[in-house]
Amino acid sequence: MAIPDSSKIYPREGDNQIVYLKNVITNPNIEVGDFTFYNDFVNDPKDFERNNVLYQYPINKDKLIIGKFCSIACGARFLFNSANHSMRSLSTYPFPIFYDEWNHGIWADKAWDNKGNIVIGNDVWIGYEAVILAGVTIGDGAIIGARAVVTKDIPPYTIVGGVPAKPIRKRFSDEVIAQLLAMKWWDLPPERISEIIKDIQFGNIEALIKK
């Protein structure tokens, strides 16, 4: 049995619309786990950094952290802190970043509200053209509906949708969720995952626990 290879760019032979995302990332402030893929049938998926990670300016040092085995659909976008024009000021106009015009470059970080990193757990499915905002953490196993706008943290194994995104339901019972979070199957070696993949696919949590 062949061992899955997470070092490929294109995991499917003859398919240039899907990439293993970590292998096309160059920005040190973007971290992606093994086997997470991005699909794009509109643009080149290798251009994920340019087209999908927006307003991530170096001055903020904010990070995009994505776990293992995530599925990211075409057009999903991650909007960082520089998109958040400050509401603490008397004006939302970003005077400080136009330092050539207004001579206030030393206040550049006051042009927006810094809400922190975007953290995506493992085995998360992010639907078509969903938008994830700065400061959001999405738990392991969550599902983000198509074109949802995620403004708040999402618990593990929770399905959300809408604008702004709201919980629809949990994927499993609290007991099964706790078992999956304790198991962390995504951290197992690929060869071990291959051995238990049938139980994962068929939802056989009892068999997984015994193994």
Which residues participate in catalysis according to the annotation? 85
| CA gap 164, 162 in Å, rounded | 5
Alpha helix segments (H runs only) across 38-145: 48-52, 99-102
- What distance separates the 2 farthest-apart alpha carbons in the chain? 66
Two tokens at 112? 């927006």
* Residue at 31: amino acid letter: E
For the chain, how far is it from start to end, CA to CA, in angstroms?
Answer: 20
| CA gap 105, 89 in Å, rounded | 16
Indicate the pairing of strand 37-39 with strand 18-20.
antiparallel
Do residues 126 and 141 lie in contact, with contact meaning Cβ atoms separated by under 8 Å? no
| CA gap 134, 21 in Å, rounded | 20
Two tokens at 203? 């939802």
Two tokens at 54? 């927006």
According to DSSP, the residues that pair with 205 across neighbouring strands are none
Which DSSP category does 111 fall into?
S
